[in-house]
Amino acid sequence: MTMERPLRIALVAPPFLPVPPPGYAGTERVVATLAQSLHDRGHQVSVFCSGDSQLPCEVIPVVPEAIWRRGQQGWGVAWIEMAVARAWEEAGRFDLIHSHVETTGFLMARYAPTPVVTTLHHRLDTGGTADLIDRFPEIPLIAISDSQRRWNPSANWVGTIHHGLDFSRTPVSETPGGYLLLVGRVAPEKGVAEAIEVARRTKMRLVMAAKAHEREELALFDSVVKPAIDEGVVDWRGEVGGEDRDQLMAGALATLMLGAWPEPFGLVAVESMATGTPVIARRAGACTETVSHNRTGFIVDDVAEAVLAVARVPDLPRRKIAADARRRFSVDRMIDQYEAAYERVLRLPKDRGMTAPRGLHSIVGAGDSGMPDLTAAIAARPVASNQP
């Protein structure tokens, strides 16, 4: 699909990592792919992100350098609010603003003079997020999986759009490898302990290419991962990105995603399958949408089933797995769907019947781009964010 006219599009990203990110990350990689691809299609794209981002389009720095590169840790809401404040301040420059900062952009989506659509990247069932979405029934939202959006069926969903990635440089291996692989964060919800147990039971080496920076991640590393390294079960690689990650995936027998949490999407599954390597995933969240049981991997309910799956993955046709992933999760497919969603948002009535609350009139009044009290106004509403 090609739109009838190019748009002036603003993308708003969390300023914690550069866009694109150097290592493990999800949201920033998707934003980078969107920015590059929309730019390639002739749209005028601006990205509100950290100033050390490297993109072919306009970068509007929220902070000079990515927050986590400065040694900060955690999900600091104030920095995300800075990104929203900056985008809201310059809203008049754009035909459409595409927010990737979760619920923090909801007030902007309701009251800004420019249409705002929000892609939600995190799980929505915790921290009051589902209740907050119900309080904003008119703002347009995009889900990254049907699983993610199921708790808010009455929200103004303008699409469910699975992520797409550029696989043009991704290797394909038709030969099953000799190790199991875990990529991601060292966190209980990522199935770290379960993956180690599967490796023990199958007597296979588990290569872990994972991030361990936050306090909780380091604690789990010390208590669960390090003993398995000493035991010879785990081959620890730390956080890797780009070509190194692709080569590890291509060389694996299978990629394990055994966390019991409802993964909103799971880029790791798509990346692994694009190399031809099957995925063994817990029956939770979007993995049931991305992994096709007995075709591109196996959906399992516990460690015992995962052990059985390890014995059966060599029989899966790796070339077909790679072809299926590259077709279903291509960049062109994703951009086509986003352009269609943008068209739907732009056709929505401009007057949504909302009245700005007291204290916001001077901020969002017609033609007014002054933002002296914006951050305080945003901070006054409830916030629900989850670590990806």
Helix (H) or strand (E) holding 143: strand 141-143
Using alpha carbons, select from 170, 188, 194 the residue that is nearest to residue 323: 170
Instruction: Indicate the burial class of 168 (C-beta count within 10 angstroms; 0-12, 13-18, 19 or more).
Output: exposed
Whole-Å CA distances, 28 to 66, 149, 187, 210: 11, 21, 20, 17
pLDDT tens sequence for the chain (388 residues): 556 789 999 999 999 999 998 866 789 999 999 999 999 999 999 999 999 999 999 999 999 999 877 766 666 789 999 999 999 999 999 999 999 999 999 999 999 999 999 999 999 999 999 999 999 999 999 999 999 999 999 999 999 999 999 999 999 999 999 999 999 999 999 999 999 999 999 999 999 999 898 889 999 999 999 999 999 999 999 988 788 999 999 999 999 999 999 999 999 999 999 999 999 999 999 999 999 999 999 999 999 999 999 999 999 999 999 999 999 999 999 999 999 999 999 998 865 445 455 444 333 333 333 333 444 443 343 333 333 3
- Give the per-residue pLDDT at 379: 39
Tally helices (H) and strands (E) across the chain: 16, 13
- Give the per-residue pLDDT at 33: 96
pTM metric for this prediction: 0.87
- Give the per-residue pLDDT at 351: 56
Using alpha carbons, select from 68, 64, 58, 77 the residue that is nearest to residue 24: 68
- Taking the C-alpha atoms of residue 55 and residue 37, their distance in angstroms, rounded to an integer, is 11
Task: Give φ, ψ of 98 to 5 degrees.
Answer: -115, 105
- Taking the C-alpha atoms of residue 170 and residue 184, their distance in angstroms, rounded to an integer, is 18
Q: In CATH terms, are 8-164+330-379 and 179-328 the same topology?
A: yes
Peptide bond into 21 cis (omega under 30): no
- Give the per-residue pLDDT at 24: 67
Helix (H) or strand (E) holding 219: helix 215-220
Domains of the chain by residue range: 8-164+330-379, 179-328
Contact 250, 276 (CB under 8 A): yes
Q: Report residue 251 as tokens.
A: 């060389």
Q: Does domain 8-164+330-379 have CATH number 3.50.50.60?
A: no
CATH architecture of residue range(s) 179-328 = 3-Layer(aba) Sandwich (3.40)
- Give the per-residue pLDDT at 2: 58
- Give the per-residue pLDDT at 241: 79
- Give the per-residue pLDDT at 353: 41
Whole-Å CA distances, 120 to 97, 220, 222: 14, 28, 32
